[in-house]
Amino acid sequence: MAKIGVVGCGYWGAKHVRSLHDLGGDEIVVCDPDLRRLANLQRKYPGIAAYERIDEVLESDVKAVIIATPMASHFDLARRCLLADKDVLVEKPLTTSFEHAVQLVQLAEERRAVLMVGHTFLYNPAVESVLDLIASGELGEIYYINLSRLNLGLFQQDSNVLWDLAPHDLSILLYLLGRFPLQISATGAAHLNPRVCDNAYLDLIFSHGTHAHVHVSWLEPRKVRRATVVGTRKMVVYDDVAATDKVWVYDKGINLHYQTDEFEDFHLSYRYGNTTILHTPPDEPLQLEQKHFIGCTKERRRPKSDGFAGLHVVALLEAAQRSLDYGGQPLEVEPLVDSPDPNLGSGLERIAQIKTPRWSPANAKTSTSMVP
């Protein structure tokens, strides 16, 4: 394994270090201004190099960098790493603004660097199983998808719950449906800190009549990470919190039977078929994500959750934040370009086609939701 740097060694950065160590990485470099964090990691993993400043990492022989710092710092740190010819994995969200996300993607394409976003759940075998069910047509046409990501805390200091938790579910939605929504709206409230939204609901409308609903909260008594996909043929529930049996497929549904050619002349029949539990490998998504990143840096190929994927999520977060600020005003969103072919540097023409999204809601009101 080539030498990899982890910048930011807090809660999630420490998990990256642990996972890299388990993968056999004996040349791990960590960077954090908190000397206690560095000392703890060096005691736990003797031999790793530790730096206080990002400049020391950039001047070293590190080939790739994982950025696990607060989201407000993502743009500056990722930009500096790319300019220093390092491949980069940035934790979600890629940036806190659409314009900055475009700049990072363009810079990575110009320098033919790997730019990957930490949309960890795209590497979850259970999510892959749900994708296979949708792609195979086993579920039929998708009526709607409900996603819930709820827990008590962890409250963030630099973002609201929308920017903290919703990137996971938005990335899952785009991955499962393979298309950009047509419309998005968001409502929520700030119950504890009047400047920070801690409970939010997102509604998205996709082509072919597919709807999606996302609920994210820091105020729930129980941890919930669940997705329900309802199709014309079958339904599936993915429960990430379950220790085992994470994906359940229900051969249930409702059939319409028309008596005549008149549209109103019909009756319903309910279908109760078998329930199937899909086996999914117990592999840790974070480690699978890291393996994918390392493979992309070695083979010089585009990651599954590349900069374009991160750009799409940031665009939706900005639109959702704007809707939240406007009291739930539904906003039409324009599709962005798809990721180019697997070759690094092949996306410059597509970047030139990207236009800054324009939102035009009416009746704006003062927000208590706090854009990060």
How many CB atoms are closer than 10 A to CB 198? Answer: 22
Both 127 and 115 in one domain: the answer is no
Whole-angstrom Cα distance, residue 74 to residue 96?
8
Q: Which of 191, 192, 216 is nearest to 203 (CA)?
A: 216
Task: Tell whether 184 is covered by a domain.
Answer: yes
Q: What is the domain count for the chain?
A: 2
Q: What is the model's pTM?
A: 0.93
Both 273 and 303 in one domain: the answer is no
| DSSP line for 202-232 | EEEE-GGG-EEEEEEESEEEEEEEEEEEEES
Both 138 and 234 in one domain: the answer is yes
Task: Tell whether 102 is covered by a domain.
Answer: yes
Task: Give the residue numbers spanning the domain of 193.
Answer: 122-278
Both 166 and 112 in one domain: the answer is no
Both 127 and 252 in one domain: the answer is yes
Task: Tell whether 360 is covered by a domain.
Answer: no
225 φ, ψ (degrees, to nearest 5): -140, 90
Whole-angstrom Cα distance, residue 230 to residue 35?
49
The two structure tokens encoding residue 13: 């950065």
pLDDT, tens digit, for every residue of 143-171? 999 999 999 988 887 789 999 999 999 99
pLDDT, tens digit, for every residue of 9-37? 999 999 999 999 999 876 899 999 999 99
Both 114 and 148 in one domain: the answer is no
pLDDT at 302 over 70: yes
Predicted confidence at residue 262, as pLDDT, reads 58
Both 141 and 258 in one domain: the answer is yes
Both 237 and 293 in one domain: the answer is no
Whole-angstrom Cα distance, residue 85 to residue 317?
29
In the three-class reduction of DSSP (H, G, I as helix; E, B as strand; rest coil), residue 193 is classed as coil
Say which residues have a Cβ less than 8 Å from residue 250's Cβ, sequence separation at least 6.
Answer: 234, 235, 236, 237, 273, 275
Quick one: what percent of the chain has pLDDT higher than 90? 81
Are the C-beta atoms of residues 353 and 337 closer than 8 Å to each other? yes
Predicted confidence at residue 364, as pLDDT, reads 43
pLDDT at 270 over 90: no
pLDDT at 365 over 60: no
Are the C-beta atoms of residues 198 and 191 closer than 8 Å to each other? yes
Task: Tell whether 367 is covered by a domain.
Answer: no
pLDDT, tens digit, for every residue of 44-84? 999 899 999 999 999 999 999 999 999 999 999 999 999 99
* CATH code assigned at 309: 3.40.50.720
Whole-angstrom Cα distance, residue 161 to residue 317?
11
Q: Which of 355, 346, 349, 354 is nearest to 109 (CA)?
A: 346
Band the pLDDT of 39: cuts 50, 70, 90: very high
Both 164 and 97 in one domain: the answer is no
